[in-house]
Amino acid sequence: MSKAKVSKYKTTILQVCVHREESNPVFGEGNTYVRVDDEAGGPFVVLQQQDDDAQNGTVRFDYEEFLAVAEAAKMLMHQMYIEKAEQDAK
């Protein structure tokens, strides 16, 4: 039996869209994009909303949406720290 070739590629999720069920996740108004960024000082969370009425630098959530955004941020950051731990272990 031959061994399967191990790929040198992996996938990393860097952005999640939190949106209403009836909204398009790519261009729907009111969507919140949660992403992980890193400027060589360690990963941090960036929130961006697609809303014509929002002022720059302002994000607005109702409580239920805030919980979904917080869960998405936690998932992304957890993934980044697992990846760092795997690299450190090598």
Domain assignment of residue 3, yes or no: no
Percent of the chain with pLDDT over 90: 31
Residue 4 within any structural domain of the chain:
no
Q: What is the pLDDT of residue 42?
A: 84
Q: How many domains does the chain have?
A: 1
**CB neighbours (10 Å) of residue 29?**
14
Residue 26 lies inside a defined structural domain of this protein:
yes
Cβ atoms within 10 Å, residue 36 = 19
CA dist., res. 16 & res. 37, Å (int): 13
CA distances from 72 to 1, 3, 17, 52, 69 (A): 41, 36, 8, 23, 5
Whether residue 6 is contained in a domain is answered as no
pLDDT at 87: 75
Spatial contact of 54 and 44, defined as CB atoms under 8 Å apart: no
Tell whether 55 is covered by a domain.
Answer: yes
In a domain? residue 45 = yes
Residue 7 lies in a domain: no
pLDDT at residue 55 in the model: 63
Would 22 be classed as within a structural domain? Answer: yes
pTM comes to: 0.73
Task: State the Cα–Cα distance between residues 20 and 81, nearest whole angstrom.
Answer: 29
pLDDT in tens, 17-50: 999 999 999 988 888 999 999 888 888 899 988 7
Instruction: Identify the pLDDT of residue 30.
Output: 83
Residue ranges with strand state E in 1-90: 15-18, 31-38, 43-50
Domain extent at residue 55: 16-89
